[in-house]
Amino acid sequence: MARVELKQITKSFGSFKAVHESDVLFEEGSFTTLLGPSGCGKTTILRMVSGLESPTSGDIMIGGKRINDVPIHKRNLGLVFQNYALFPHRTIAENIAFGLKYRGVSKADAAQKVKDALEIVRLPGVEDRYPSQLSGGQQQRIAMARAIVIEPDVLLLDEPLSALDANLREDMRVELKAIQHRIGVTSIFVTHDQSEALAMSDRIIVMSAGRIEQVGAPEEVYNNPASEFVANFLGASNIVAVDVKGRGADDVTLEVPHFGAVTLHANRAVNLGDAAKGKLVIRAEKLHLSDGAAPEGAVSTKGVVEAVDYQGQLARYFVRIGDVQFQAMNMIDGAPFAQGAEVSVVLNPDDCSVLANEA
């Protein structure tokens, strides 16, 4: 295990700045995800850590040592890519042991290490098969075994699940996280998939346009987004302009269009500061539709269901409230609300967070 630290790292390709001055810390033994849309700089950071790209400026530290000038084959890193990159005409044992022969490991020791790696990824006994004889999920486990067999200081995973179908992808993210727990290696995971990031990570680094938007535990980043970009990228959010009507010792009162005065705990508005105006973030799953009265402590208003996106156990509703359309994602109890239905839209203030208006 090793701690990875990037100090004022930048990367430019000609006049294009892919990564702006950034300080990034990957704690020893942690599973940290770089999350963001295509072109945000997350893969560029991974490639700089691996040695596939050189930083334009700044320092890359692994285990307290500066490695900017250390070639990739001397960094002791495990790499897992989305296309597996297995050799089709080599056996599974030969694929896994590929990195060991360059480290002076004897054949007997290599065979034992391959066996141990296959036990870790829960595919014992497949040493003599070929990649084409394994499923996509099994091939991804072999790619993982090849990466960990060298006992790397850091494990780098670049969109490793994106080539799998949806059900297998969900199973494999559980497996990859379990493997990382078993071996305890510092892991840096790159994805644009928010559900992967939320399910697998100890910490998430959200990126946009080469800059870091927010760093934190999954629950923190999801429930307390630091910017409108983060609120929109992680999950479906309703973002509403609000006026601050009053501040108490422990609460803030906002004037929310169509809902009226809404009072929430001050810790839900830490990003608001002393601003007189802001934006209320309401996660779609926190906005409840009802055909009855609002529960105590909540506020409600009337709306009309304009569209229904049925998803089996839950439905995503598009609800018109005055001149604004809101999204609500609710579990279905009985039949879903029909298009055109008039509903009560129920909001619990402590399910919301508040952002300052961005410059």
The structural domains of the chain, with segments of one domain joined by +, span 4-228, 236-356
What token pair was written down for 269? 């508005």
Q: What is the pLDDT, as a whole number, of residue 359?
A: 62
Q: What is the pLDDT, as a whole number, of residue 139?
A: 92
Burial letters for 174-184: b for 16+ Cβ neighbours within 10 Å, e otherwise?
A: ebbbebbeebe
Q: What is the pLDDT, as a whole number, of residue 248?
A: 85
Which residues in the chain belong to E strands, given as ranges?
Answer: 4-13, 16-26, 31-35, 57-62, 65-66, 77-81, 154-158, 186-191, 203-208, 211-216, 237-247, 251-256, 260-265, 277-283, 287-290, 299-310, 314-321, 324-331, 342-347, 353-356
Q: What is the pLDDT, as a whole number, of residue 101?
A: 83
| One-letter amino acid for residue 48 of the chain | M
Token pair 């629950």 in the structure block, residue: 219
Report the alpha-carbon distance of residue 223 to residue 216 in Å, rounded. 11
Query: Three-class SS of residue 59?
Result: strand
> Does domain 4-228 sit in CATH 3.40.50.300?
yes
CB atoms within 10 A of CB 83: 13
pTM: 0.90
Q: What is the pLDDT, as a whole number, of residue 308?
A: 95
pLDDT along the chain (359 residues), means of 10: 93 96 94 95 96 96 94 91 88 94 88 94 94 92 93 94 84 89 94 93 96 95 92 91 89 90 85 84 93 78 94 93 93 88 91 84
Q: What is the pLDDT, as a whole number, of residue 266?
A: 84
For the chain, how big is the Rg over CA atoms in Å? Answer: 24
Burial letters for 207-243: b for 16+ Cβ neighbours within 10 Å, e otherwise?
A: bbebbbbbbbebeebbbbbbbbbbbebbbebbebebe
Which fold does the domain 236-356 belong to in CATH?
OB fold (Dihydrolipoamide Acetyltransferase, E2P) (2.40.50)
